[in-house]
Structure 1
Amino acid sequence: MIETQKIDPTTDYSRLFTPFKIGNMEVKNRIVLSPMGTGSSKIDGSKSNSEIRYYEERARGGAGMIILGCQLLTEELAQGSLEGTLEKEHVIPKLTELVEAVQRYGTKVVCQISPGTGRNAFPSMYGEPPVSASPIPAVFDPSVTCHALTVPEIAKIMEQFTNSADIAKKAGFDAIEIHGHAGYLIDQFMSPVWNKREDEYGGSDENRARFARDIIRALRKAVGPNMPIMFRISLDHRFEGGRTLEDSMPLIQLLEAEGVDALDIDSGSYETLDYIFPPAYLGDACMEYVCEMARKHVNIPLLNSGNHTPETAIRLLESGNADFVMFGRPLIADPELPNKLMRGCREDVRPCIRCNEECIGRIVNRLTKLSCAVNIQAAEEQRFKLVKTEMPKKVLVIGAGPAGLEAARVAATIGHQVILVEKEHEIGGQLRVAATPQFKSQLRDLVKWFGVQLNKLKVDVRLNTELQADDSLLDSADRIILAAGALPIEPPILGLDYDNVISVVDAHLHKDLVKGKRIVICGGGLSACDSAIELAQEHGKQVTVIEMRDAVAKDVMFINTISIYRMFDEYGIKQRTNSRVTSIDKVGVHITKLDGSNECIPADTVITAFGMKPDRRLAESIQAKYHAKTRVVGDSDTVGNVGTAVRGGYYAAISLED
């Protein structure tokens, strides 16, 4: 048997499934899908079929309310993004299809409307300077000065809001949410750090809130007094000069006085971007703290987001400081999270690993639509639908890392007979290695989740089993999926065999091998950075990271590096970039810097993290004999991350009959 996830069976999740009202709209439970762009609307601003199915799946999974990612007032303001526009009536039929697909399950659906990014616009997406409250520098190109909106231009935007709200109402939405969040255009008016105006839109809390209050009135003109209007706002920008939690209290009171029916609150801004897309490093419920003060200043319902788990959701509701808990990426990872909790199946909830690689990472870095590292069906619910096979096969999966685990799970789910062999004494592969820091608990949860699923699917898991190319299991299998993992790269550096030198894998798994106080890590990739933070944060080590390139974490998703760099500073982790390791001895690590100078960094323990390479040894011997029925996936094929490994395993399993 495999180790299964240990969850407190006495936890009562029933509080999550009590109804609550926003205005006169009753929501069936307290679980809300956070507003997140999917990058999958059509270029004409209308919704695509895949986006409709994406939202429908989260409604079917039991969410009480779904808030769409921001819909822009006009095509010009959308700046080429594929999130949808509310400018022309041709978008109404597809919006109606989306709305009714969600409402079918008793889920409320909210249209979030935005006048754009303002100073946060990407340089590639504007021909003229972006607009803002004042003539301030653009975020991504400070040499560009924003155009300060004139009063007539503001009046035109209000007309556009009325038009967009009318379109949303005709499409059948249950409520409207104003996107006043995280330093976007509306927030730029509300914040003195960006609003330098001296007219009726600047100079005091009342004036800085005028733009937002004008929007509320413009929406009411279209939707009438009964349709709820919500407002999304960051209450704490978390950077020097930004709006603080205390600064935000008069603003939310003004919004309540203007008739906002609920507030969607968290923290962060583009200056602290990792709080907009909080990675694993920020921990659970990292923005819950804004709720207590907000509750004391307003009487309308509060919604809160930010790395929530089912357990933190219960805690927040029981505190009385919020009325709804928002799950963004967790509902991408597992759209059935609400129904599984309601059925008492907490162990079946697939955890979000907070990697940002396949959700926001795909949209920003690859300009393509959202997916998920652990749920390959996200935004592809129809195309990647699992269908029971009519031709069950004997499938042998070799290797129980993320690729092999997913391949075994999916193959068994669709009805194949699966044997999974693993040479180690437990499942997980590189996941098990990467999961040792406290801040990577989601990876530990993912390994446990796979264990639960494989047990329930009755997969024949054989641990401590290392196959050779002549093993009879290979001959009897109809299909072989090989996911044997990777090997560490060992460059020809003098001293790698010294007793004080260990691999980063051993550093993660065997802390007793990390001797002394002074630790030097050779290599600055993700595993090295995580190990450095773990050793400094949890074990009080003095850590130095050496990297050949000009920055550590060079291949890490850029939002996550913000947290990594902050933690490096917090725990005094030193960096030696543009530096090449030339040798290692009992004194320390000798490096040559970019300018040609040399230095020895003293070390009690040296950790090697030069990267990984595919382990092709078993693959080559098996493919030589069973090429036609063998597929190589995961790091055995190409070294990647959790998402690429899981995707490879998923693809191999769903194509077994091809």
Structure 2
Amino acid sequence: MTSYPHLLSPLDLGFTTLANRVLMGSMHTNLEERGDWNRVAEFYAERARGGVGLMVTGGMAPNAEGGVFPGAAGLFTPQDIAHHRLVTDRVHDAGGRIAMQILHAGRYAYGPDCVAPSAVKSPISPFAPRALDEAGIEKQIDDIAIAAVRAREAGYDGVEIMGSEGYFLNQFLVTHTNRREDRWGGSYENRMRLPVEVMRRVRAAVGRDFIVIFRLSMIDLVPNGSTHDEVVQLARAIEAAGADILNTGIGWHEARVPTIATSVPRAGFAWVTKKLMGKVGIPVITSNRINTPEVAEGLLAGGCADMVSLARPFLADPEFVNKARAGRPDLIAPCIACNQACLDHTFGGKVSSCLVNPRAGHETELVPVPTDAPKRVAVVGAGPAGLSAAITAAQRGHAVTLFDRAGEIGGQLNMARRVPGKEEFHGLVDWFAAMLAETGVTLRLGVEATPDALEGFDTVVVATGVTPRDPGIPGQDHPSVLSYVDVLRDGAPVGGRVAIVGAGGIGFDVAEFLVTGESPTLDLPEWLREWGVTDPETARAGLAPDGPQPEPPVREVVLLQRKAEKPGKRLGKTTGWIHRAALLMKGVQMKAGVNYERIDDAGLHISYGAARERPEVIACDTVVLCSGQESARGLADALGARGVACHVIGGADVAAELDAKRAIDQGVRLAAGL
């Protein structure tokens, strides 16, 4: 008897049956562009072995002009087909199914040869597109159909046609990007002609016994986007043109509404997909921020969809489905939707991976194999670096003892999970606890690991983290001054007017903590109001007419930094804008290029620039210091003084913000090589 009867039930498509209702959604990994096709094959094969019903690849370009960037992967030559055949063969040998996504970027293509329905430049690309003529449109249709045929030749079980997120086909649907006056523009019937014709031609090209998914934008979240009635009209036309499945797309990439970041409530847009249920006769997939089998099962049981799409959760844990089937959801490494190692890497030209699972994208090189020489390993520090090192070493067969002077595991994660919008960190700490128990790590909490206490171990790993940096501001011993540790860890009382010294990631987190009452991430209706999202049946594209309506801030906050650059500039590539927008909606003032002169009863005294001009007093009740960190290396230095070798990882090695991505990666890689 399974706890997830809907999730694990088969899905009959007529000519074939999927083993369960779980789709691994498309993710561009940048692996294909590196030319190591064994590595690509193993990435997908590992997830096939994990039990997922169907996988969709990252977007493959149908032609050069449609690639998301110059040189983007596609299926253009017989050699390309042979490379992709390595992937499909490996997946099939592992018992899996895989579809190839055909993605034409249109005006989102990051190159000078991009094309679109009209010459309207995207706000997220510096390149203005060329408006296609009739022959150019016909070429795009042909190229997409040919890509589908090549996908079949390469052994794929199907294709997904990308028609959402503001890409090429989506651009034809809305008047903002389609200003044509021919048969491809004007009325909605004309504007939807291209996606419908693409669907029809793809189906004719590949035959009936081949899965064709159409990715449909359910809610555009951009001005002048599609109405709900138009979405339904298109869905029915796409079904009639031959689609087997409709997959949910949420928001254009240029939308100013978060759709997949950690602050988005779980399954935050499933209600939109549910509106399509019963209006078409083919299966419908819901997506976005579904990261546990419980959430997925609830959506299917509640009639929100016929299938669920999880993308990043399969980076975090390829064994998601197998662990759910085995009744061990506590062992599923959770996707915390941070974007730090996946989307931030993708858009930075790096291989996509996962903060929680550094093996993602590195399956052929990072292989922790059982040891043939077990050691007694001491790990000091139960933060993310120490936890990952301890668990990985124990999985390999070492006898591991984990020390921490605190009374709980988690280290700096315990501060992060108190920040509104970062509730997923609770699940991450819980998973670490489950894995410590599962792997047999001996846990010594509330214990100071002195050099004497570490005698007798074969290997010592020091992961003692960081301490707050002393900013050296005159008057910082004033009673009004607190550190971020006082605020986030110890719950020190904070006044109604606050100056935050330091506008890095921690400063932004503290600001969010101090201006927010109840977290909107835990209250979907409130979150939707905060970001100006409403029912697309009542407002075009789901944008509320009165715009975002956040709750008033709990406190008045001024966020300051020494660097003369835009505050928050160095935050995550794909999430920084969300944090900046959230604080601005709460009225947080941001000041850059400041000198901290002194703190006294009047508040925080500042000036600007090297000449220390424009002196100003920030009147406040509390000053919170978020001015960086220093490595806590006392134990490592003491061991070194005794001639005892040790491995130093995480913040104890390099203090750079609170970098859990680097810490976990270091811990896993060190333990894999012990």
Same fold (TM over 0.5): yes
From 623, 626, 636, give the equivalent of 2:652. Answer: 636
Pick from 269, 289, 308: which aligns with 1:307? 289
Could you give the per-residue CA deviations for residues 172-229 of structure 1, whole angstroms, max 9, x where no partner exists?
A: 2222210112111111111211000000100111111111122112212320133232
Pick aligned residue for 1:597 from 614, 621, 640: 614
Does residue 1:64 correspond to 2:53, yes or no? Answer: yes
Residue from 390, 399, 420 that aligns with 1:408: 390
Q: Does the Cα contact within 8 Å between 1:407 and 1:653 map onto a contact in 2?
A: yes
Tell me, what secondary structure is at the counterpart of 2:422? helix
**Deviation digits for residues 594-618 of structure 1, max 9, x if unmatched?**
4821222222222110111212222
Give matches, 1:71-470, under 5 Å: 71-78=60-67, 84-114=73-103, 116-122=104-110, 126=111, 128-141=112-125, 144-272=127-255, 275=258, 278-309=260-291, 310-365=293-348, 367-469=349-451
Q: CA, structure 1 residues 589+248, in 2 after alignment: closer, same or farther (shift >3 Å)?
A: farther
Q: TM-score, normalised by structure 2?
A: 0.90
Q: Secondary structure at the match of 1:281?
A: coil
Q: CA deviation at 1:538?
A: 2.0
Question: Quick check: 60-69 or 533-542, which moved more?
Answer: 533-542
Correspondence 1:522 to 2:522: no
Question: Which residue identity does 1:41 align to in structure 2?
Answer: E
Matched position secondary structure for 1:545: strand
Contact between 1:274 and 1:560, CA under 8 Å: does it hold in 2?
no
RMSD between superposed Cα atoms in Å? 2.1
CA distance in structure 1 between the partners assigned to 2:72 and 2:435 by the alignment: 35
C-alpha change, 1:585 and 1:245, in structure 2 (3 Å) is: farther
* CA distance in structure 1 between the partners assigned to 2:654 and 2:257 by the alignment: 28
Tell me, in whole angstroms, the C-alpha distance in 1 between the residues paired with 2:385 and 2:199.
49
1:649 aligns with 2:628: no
Whole-angstrom CA distance in 2 between matches of 1:211 and 1:25:
28
Check conservation: 1:71, 1:85, Cα contact below 8 A.
yes
- Can you give the 5+ residue segments of structure 1 that lack an aligned partner in the other structure? 1-9
Residue number among 17, 21, 35 corresponding to 2:12 in the alignment: 21
The one-character-per-residue Cα deviations of 1:486-540 (angstroms, maximum 9, x if unpaired) are 11111110221112211111211233x2333222211111122122112212262
In structure 2, distance between residues paired with 1:431 and 1:632: 19
The answer to whether the Cα contact below 8 Å between 1:39 and 1:82 also exists between their aligned partners in 2 is no
- Answer whether contact 2:385 2:463 (CA < 8 A) is retained: yes
For residue 492 of structure 1, what is the amino acid of its counterpart? G
Of residues 242-251 and 61-70 in structure 1, the stretch that sits farther from structure 2 once superposed is 242-251
How far does residue 624 in structure 1 lie from its aligned partner after superposition? 3.1
> Are the counterparts in 2 of residues 40 and 82 from structure 1 also a CA contact under 8 Å?
no
Partner residue in 2 for 1:623: 640
Give 1:301 deviation, angstroms. 1.2
Against the structure 1 CA distance between its residues 207 and 542, is the aligned structure 2 distance closer, same or farther, given a 3 Å change threshold?
Answer: same
Structure 2: how far apart are the matches of 1:517 and 1:243?
43
- Corresponding letter in the other structure for 1:256: E
3-state SS of paired residue (2:150)? helix
What does residue 528 of structure 2 align with?
none
The 1:185/1:529 distance shift into structure 2, 3 A limit, reads: same
Indicate conservation of the 8 Å contact 2:22/2:52, yes or no: yes
The code of the aligned residue for 1:56 comes to A
Amino acid at match of 1:596: E
How many residue pairs are counted as aligned between the two chains? Answer: 633
Aligned partner of 2:468 in structure 1 is 488
Classify the secondary structure of the residue corresponding to 1:70: strand
Bigger drift between 252-261 and 62-71 goes to 252-261
Matches within 5 A, 1:27-66: 27-42=18-33, 48-66=37-55
Deviation at 1:576, TM superposition (A): 2.2
Decide whether aligned partners of structure 1 residues 261 and 454 sit closer, same or farther in structure 2, where only a CA change above 3 A counts.
Answer: same
Which whole-Å CA distance do the structure 1 matches of 2:512 and 2:281 have between them? 41
| Structure 2, unpaired ranges of 5+ | 519-553
Contact 1:588 1:602 in 2 (8 A): yes
Work out whether residues 523 and 545 of structure 1, in 8 Å CA contact, stay in contact via their aligned partners in 2: yes
Cα distance, 1:170–1:295 mapped onto 2, change above 3 Å: same
Counterpart residue type for residue 461 of structure 2: I
For the 8 Å contact 1:521–1:532, the answer to whether it is kept is yes
Shift of the 229–456 alpha-carbon distance from structure 1 to 2, 3 Å rule, reads closer
Alpha-carbon deviation of 1:12? 2.8
Read off the aligned partner of 2:342 and give its amino acid letter.
C
> C-alpha separation between the residues in 2 aligned to 1:355 and 1:421?
28
Deviation sequence 1:391-413 (CA, Å, 0-9, x none): 11111111111101111111111
The answer on whether the counterparts of 1:121 and 1:140 sit within 8 Å (CA) in structure 2 is no
Structure-1 residue corresponding to 2:551:
none
Report Cα offsets for 1:401-458 as digits up to 9, x if no partner: 1101111111111011111111111111111111112421221211121111112222
Q: Following TM superposition, by how much is the alpha carbon of 1:67 offset from its aligned partner in structure 2, in angstroms?
A: 0.8
- Structure 1 pair 441–269 and aligned structure 2 pair: CA distance change class (3 A): same
SS class of match (1:167): helix
Moved more, 213-222 or 349-358: 213-222
Could you tell me which residue of structure 1 aligns to residue 533 of structure 2? none
Deviation string 1:340-393 (CA, Å, 9 cap, x unpaired) is 01100011011112111111212222x221111111111222321221111111
Q: Quote the Cα distance in structure 2 between the aligned partners of 1:49 and 1:138.
A: 36
Give the Cα–Cα distance (whole angstroms) in 2 for the partners of residues 137 and 379 of structure 1: 33
Q: Secondary structure at the match of 1:112?
A: strand
CA distance in 2, matches of 1:80, 1:155: 22
Offset of residue 274 of structure 1: 6.6
> Aligned AA for 1:460?
T
Cα distance per residue 1:82-141 (max 9 Å; x no partner): 753112122222322322322334432111112x3221122xxx2x35211101124345
The residue type paired with residue 667 of structure 2 is G
CA 1:626/1:285 → structure 2, altered by over 3 Å: closer, same or farther? Answer: farther
Q: Counterpart of 1:39 in 2: which secondary structure?
A: coil
Aligned with residue 501 of structure 1, among 459, 481, 484:
481
**In structure 1, C-alpha distance between the alignment counterparts of 2:596 and 2:223, rounded to whole Å:** 38
CA contact (8 A) 2:353 2:361 kept: yes
Take 1:614 and 1:64, find their aligned partners in 2: how far apart are those partners?
Answer: 45
CA contact (8 A) 1:401 1:483 kept: yes
Amino acid in structure 2 at the alignment position of 1:654:
A
CA separation in 2, counterparts of 1:250 and 1:47? Answer: 42
State the identity as a percent: 31
Correspondence 1:608 to 2:660: no
Tell me the distance in 1 between the aligned counterparts of 2:142 and 2:12. 29
- Structure 1: distance between partners of 2:143 and 2:367: 39
Give the whole-Å Cα distance in 2 for the aligned partners of 1:626 and 1:478: 14
Distance change (3 Å), C-alpha of 1:83 and 1:450: farther
Q: Say if 2:49 and 2:95, in contact at 8 Å, map to a contact too.
A: no
Q: Conserved in 2, the CA contact under 8 Å of 1:428 and 1:447?
A: yes
Distance in 1 (alpha carbons) for counterparts of 2:134 and 2:43:
39
